[in-house]
Amino acid sequence: MRFLDQLNAECLIARARASTGLADLGPDHYREPLDQLLRSMLAEAQLNDAGANTHAGRIVNALENRLRRVDLVKRHPGILDEQVDVGVIIVGLPRTGSTMLQRLLAASPQATAIVWWETIFPLPRDESGPADIAARKADAKALSDQLVAASEGFEAIHPMDAFAHDEELPLIEQSFISNIPEAMLYLPSYGEWLLAADQTHAYGELLEWLKILQWQDPTRRGKKWILKAPHHLTAVRTTLETFPNAIIAMTHRRVDHVMGSYYSMVGSLTGGNTDADLSSAQAAHWTQRLHRNLVDMIPVRAEQPDRFFDIQYGALLTDPVGSARALFAAAGIPVTDADIAAWQQWLGGNKRDNRPSHKYDLADYGVDKAQLLANFAFYSNAYVTEI
């Protein structure tokens, strides 16, 4: 079989069913996004053999997780009774400090957040408890090391750590609705479809994933979940409706710095999946994509302004504890001395100097800075205070 021939929905579903011995994929709302994704991958991504093989494997893994999730909830229906309390959802353009903010907030003894290894191996493989968790952690660490080695310069762009808190987007991706594929492949038609898609089912499944993770770790019960993903910009209204007690923390940074950094990140991720140079095409795609996300966000925010709290990137870097205190207060979470101590301890172990320097230039992607700033002035003038 040719590598590209693997990108067939029925073939991929058959592989997942064969590997798990399970058949029930649950409601079929996953099929339209899967079909849209596969069409775009075949028509636009210009995949090389390695890229086709990698992404066929990623889709099979998502289907396996879907099969196992459905089976787990059937066997343990009490999972759906878990009460998940989401307190803060960090949303904003990529590269605006959201990872730092999530990890800082989640260090609080009152809070919890998803850990990277859980996003990759979220389901128990057997009933061995601690031994199963240890095995999943070890496999995730090996995969994290592999991803850093395979994507040139990625360690300087995003702090990969299998055991650190990270975004929930890989769990949303199990529904085949997310911007992860767009960040790794050139998929303009899939991206356009996603902007108009109803993501209600995907967010319902995200809530179920949180219940599954909390069921596996009962120490999380009663704690405030801290979520974060730039993807939520594609579904702000759905995010608010799914988590009605949460506030959205919007992180803001100068658009020219955001875009240059993100072009570099996407270029690093895309490069290993194609033999073509798609860096400028990806830059153009993401410029248009993120512009549209912000345009769509503004009227939703205007309807519920009390559900939003703004965090400037510069302020987060210069006074992280002050930013965390203000955000907790906005979310109605009393700040304790234990919170302050935990935040300071986390900051003490999170030095940027531990990672290589991340360098980028808009001109390398065919983007004019003045034009970029003009296109995003509607957003920057309203929300970005940094010069």
The CATH number that applies at residue 133 is 3.40.50.300
In a domain, 221, yes or no: yes
Quickly tell me which residue has 């100097």 as its tokens: 353
Strands of the sheet with 111-112, listed across from one edge: 111-112, 224-228, 85-92, 247-252, 308-312
Q: How far apart are CA 115 and CA 113, in angstroms?
A: 6
In a domain, 26, yes or no: no
Query: Three-state SS for 206?
Result: helix
- CA 57 vs. chain centroid, Å, equals 19
Mean pLDDT of 236-245: 98
Residue-level pLDDT at 154: 53
Which one, of 88, 118, 115, 103, lies nearest residue 224 by Cα? 88
Residue 75: CA count within 13 A, CB half-sphere: 11
Q: Domain span at residue 128? A: 86-383
In a domain, 1, yes or no: no
Q: pLDDT, tens digit, for every residue of 82-121? A: 999 999 999 999 999 999 999 999 999 999 999 999 999 9
Mean pLDDT of 217-241: 97
Percent of the chain, pLDDT > 90? 85
14 CB neighbour count, 10 Å cutoff: 13
Residue-level pLDDT at 128: 86
Token digits for 214? 């909390």
Q: What's the structural domain count of the chain?
A: 1
Residue-level pLDDT at 203: 98
In a domain, 77, yes or no: no
Q: pLDDT, tens digit, for every residue of 203-212? A: 999 999 999 9
Token digits for 74? 């059937």
Mean pLDDT of 233-239: 97
Q: How far apart are CA 109 and CA 98, in angstroms?
A: 19
In a domain, 59, yes or no: no
Percent of the chain, pLDDT > 70? 94
In a domain, 68, yes or no: no
Residue-level pLDDT at 234: 96
In a domain, 8, yes or no: no
Token digits for 331? 């979310």
Task: Classify burial at 111, counting beta carbons within 10 Å of its beta carbon; exposed 0-12, middle 13-18, buried 19 or more.
Answer: buried
Residue-level pLDDT at 1: 46
- CA 155 vs. chain centroid, Å, equals 17
Measured between its terminal Cα atoms, the distance across the chain in Å is 54
In a domain, 168, yes or no: yes
Which has more confidence, 366 or 350?
A: 366
Q: How far apart are CA 93 and CA 258, in angstroms?
A: 7
Residue-level pLDDT at 143: 83
Residue-level pLDDT at 351: 64
Mean pLDDT of 108-136: 93
- pLDDT of 152 above 90: no
Residue-level pLDDT at 272: 87
Q: Given CA atoms 198, 199, 201, 204 in this order, what sign does their dihedral have?
A: negative
Mean pLDDT of 191-207: 96
Q: How far apart are CA 228 and CA 102, in angstroms?
A: 7
Q: pLDDT, tens digit, for every residue of 292-340? A: 999 999 999 999 999 999 999 999 999 999 999 999 999 999 999 999 9
CA distances from 230 to 98, 108, 147, 369 (A): 8, 22, 21, 22
